[in-house]
């Protein structure tokens, strides 16, 4: 394998989970070879430390991985397979290797974040760049040049991590998965209740239980989960606050628009009122004129009638 192939090896690797305990390596390879050549397949059987079988697969081309991910869901031995791209250690932490998320947290590198004043880091430019990885459901800008993007598929987030590093106007971006608080709590419950974690109240050896609970691996995982929970809560609160502020700003803008519309309507009503008053005065003037004309015409008619009566009398006299 050439140096370029070694660099791009991350695009060829696939994690396959939720495999049947009766699965054989040959059966899995036969299924995956429908989508391309399988170069390596490392199968891990279920035991007291693992809930189910899983495998790490190395395909011959990245197109095979893309086709597998695009044609999900996959079923083998009446079980729905859990497929995700394998993430290298340099672009993700340990939790991100196995847990998927449709949300990604984007920010500048911590050393640069306080110093950068990047006016182009706005919703339009961010959406233009990151929508190439998949359909964006929601994009929320936070303070200190941070952003949370929600995709409709967790594979979009994995592809972003695989393509790391990313740069925005020559500034390197720090990108990591963002997990909801409930998802982290569920992960913590799974970790606590897994078979390798003893329960002192169920007759387990107290000394062995205390040794496991104080082990570096256990404490490191718990600390990592607590830190992620704190980060998730803080970002969740920021998103809620940003949503409330946006909603409030939209409400105020709408209120301003409605007030302007009301002012315009009041002006139009005032103009119509003035026109109506003018027409009313014109009608009153015309009515008065008509009454005067009617009175004049009636007087002339009476005079003519009197003349006719006088002529009639004269005619009778003659």
pLDDT tens, residue by residue, 240-278: 888 888 889 899 999 999 999 999 999 999 999 999 999
Q: How far apart are CA 75 and CA 55, in angstroms?
A: 15
Q: How far apart are CA 9 and CA 283, in angstroms?
A: 92
pLDDT over 70, % of the chain: 77
Taking the whole predicted model, whether its pTM rises above 0.85 is answered as no
Radius of gyration of the CA atoms of the chain, in A:
41
Predicted local distance difference test score (pLDDT) of residue 237:
80
Label each residue of 170-216 as H, E or C: CEEEEEEECCCHHHHHHHHHHHHCCCCCCCHHHCCCHHHHHHHHCCH
Predicted local distance difference test score (pLDDT) of residue 67:
93
pLDDT tens, residue by residue, 279-299: 999 999 999 999 999 999 998
Predicted local distance difference test score (pLDDT) of residue 91:
60
pLDDT over 90, % of the chain: 37
Mention every residue, 6+ apart, whose C-beta is less than 8 A from residue 149: 103, 104, 106, 126, 130, 136, 138, 139, 140
Backbone phi, then psi, for 48, in 5-degree steps? -70, -15
The pLDDT of 16-40, averaged and rounded, is 91
pLDDT tens, residue by residue, 141-197: 888 888 899 999 999 999 999 888 898 888 888 888 888 777 776 666 655 555 444
Q: How far apart are CA 237 and CA 140, in angstroms?
A: 12
CA distances from 22 to 25, 204, 206, 313 (A): 10, 30, 35, 138
Partners of 140 in the β-ladder: 148
């Amino acid at each position: 394998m050439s140096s370029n192939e070694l660099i791009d090896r991350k695009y060829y690797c696939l994690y396959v989970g939720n495999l049947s305990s009766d699965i054989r390596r040959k059966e899995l390879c036969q299924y995956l070879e429908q989508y391309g050549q399988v170069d390596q397949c490392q199968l891990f059987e279920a035991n007291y430390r693992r809930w189910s079988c899983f495998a790490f697969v190395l395909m011959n081309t990245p197109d095979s991985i893309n086709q597998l991910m695009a044609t999900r869901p996959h079923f083998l031995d009446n079980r729905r397979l859990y497929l995700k791209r394998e993430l290298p250690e340099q672009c993700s932490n340990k939790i991100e290797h196995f847990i998927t998320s449709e949300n990604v947290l984007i920010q500048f590198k911590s050393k640069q974040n306080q110093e950068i004043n990047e006016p182009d880091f706005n919703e339009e430019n961010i959406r233009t760049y990151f929508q190439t990885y998949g359909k964006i459901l929601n994009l929320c800008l936070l303070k200190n040049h941070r952003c949370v993007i929600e995709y409709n598929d967790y594979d979009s987030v994995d592809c972003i991590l695989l393509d790391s590093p990313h740069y925005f106007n020559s500034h390197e971006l720090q990108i990591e998965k963002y997990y909801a608080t409930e998802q982290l709590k569920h992960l913590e419950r799974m970790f606590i209740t897994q078979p390798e974690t003893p329960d002192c109240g169920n007759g387990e050896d107290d000394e062995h239980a205390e040794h496991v609970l104080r082990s570096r691996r256990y404490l490191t995982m718990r600390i990592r989960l607590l830190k992620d929970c704190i980060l998730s809560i803080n970002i969740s609160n920021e998103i809620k606050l940003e949503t409330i502020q946006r909603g409030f700003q939209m409400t105020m803008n709408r209120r301003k628009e409605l007030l302007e519309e009301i002012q315009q309507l009041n002006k139009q009503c005032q103009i119509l009122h003035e026109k109506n008053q003018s027409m009313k005065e014109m009608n009153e003037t015309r009515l008065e004129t008509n009454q005067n004309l009617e009175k004049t015409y009636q007087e002339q008619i009476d005079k003519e009638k009197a003349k006719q009566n006088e002529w009639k009398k004269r005619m009778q006299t003659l």
